[in-house]
Structure 1
């Protein structure tokens, strides 16, 4: 999937749908640290990972954007540092002008007021007024093939999906099948919610009494296997 196909394919899919789909398909669920939050509510971000390792200076971002493709998401590895902000308004503006979809930062941001005006989708661990007071040495080529975000290493072979529930990383070569499975889960949930709104409880829809009876007959029966047996499974 290219970035355009990713954005269309995941336009109406939430991270919760996709996480459940990954579990059902046996795709490892890779989440950014839970304290990485969107700058404002309602952000839905999707795009191929463009990894960046912050070294204390803005030049790594300029170099990355020079190599980027429209629709990608900058995934910035600042090691989760809480003593410096590594992106601000100028980086966000430059990223927007390059046509990227957003920024995920394993670290902090600053210029919050300006960033909320720019409206470049950003997920970070929080805000801090202090910028870097360092310039780490690096090779002549600033490009990197991978970046860390929490305990996970991501590359251009992954894509980002992020919303109010957090940030997921999924292999691009599994994107199509994950999207199909996630859409099925989403549609099942919507049907169940509509029925509940109309007065049918989830206990009724899930045939909970039948599940209790099945558990009494065989304690190995789980609620998930029961839901699958009646075509009502949403989580796996």
Structure 2
């Protein structure tokens, strides 16, 4: 960590398996709404979790973080073990009056190759995050800065936007919101999304063209 703080209050989880990045890239080429339709419209986060960096899309694997509201010690520590392509998925107890993420953490994420950040809580420094090209989704925005006391947990399943997110799950985000696909269902999700896309293209082909 670049900060000086005790991490004794944090629960750390040993390394977990991550899916093939090529599968994440392929699934991430589809819109979130299409992926959601293809998996019976489950795994879609609450609409309150929305992009604060308009125009930036995201596809990666879940690195789950559980932190107390308004505290980002666990987020800093999680970046020590993060891998390129991870998405920080943060349960911050839905608190929106104090941010747990901001520009400095955003720069650290870029340095670590983080694919995006999803916060069931608040962020700040949204102009900086947009300038960094870091896709960031959050329940709210607040200028109030975070504490760094803990406790927290890294690598254990978290609830984020009413969806349970396990380490290594696929997560995609765009202007419509966030969709999560369990790791063992990624290949199936790709196949089903292709079929859903073909179905919708067939519907569009029947739309009459005005002349």
Shorter chain as normaliser: what TM range? Answer: 0.7 to 0.9
| 2:76 aligned with 1:59 | no
Map Cα deviations across residues 29-57 of structure 1 (whole Å, 9 max, x no partner).
12222111112333321111001122454
Point out the structure with max Rg over C-alpha.
1
| 2:39 aligned with 1:22 | yes
Given that residues 48 and 161 in structure 2 are in contact (C-alpha distance below 8 angstroms), is that contact kept between their aligned partners in structure 1?
no
**For residues 202 and 25 of structure 2, what CA distance do their matches in structure 1 show?**
22
| 2:157 aligned with 1:146 | yes
- Name the structure, 1 or 2, with higher relative contact order (CA <8 Å, separation 6+): 2
Partner in structure 2 of residue 85 of structure 1: 99
Secondary structure of 1:107's counterpart equals strand
Structure 1-normalised TM-score? 0.74
Name the count of aligned residue pairs.
193
Structure 2-normalised TM-score? 0.81
Partner in structure 1 of residue 8 of structure 2: none
| 2:173 aligned with 1:190 | no
Cα–Cα, structure 1 residues 136 and 8, in superposed 2: closer, same or farther, change >3 Å? closer
| 2:184 aligned with 1:173 | yes
Cα–Cα, structure 1 residues 49 and 195, in superposed 2: closer, same or farther, change >3 Å? same
Q: Which runs of 4+ in 1 moved over 3 A?
A: 55-59
Q: Unaligned stretches of 5+ in structure 2? A: 1-17
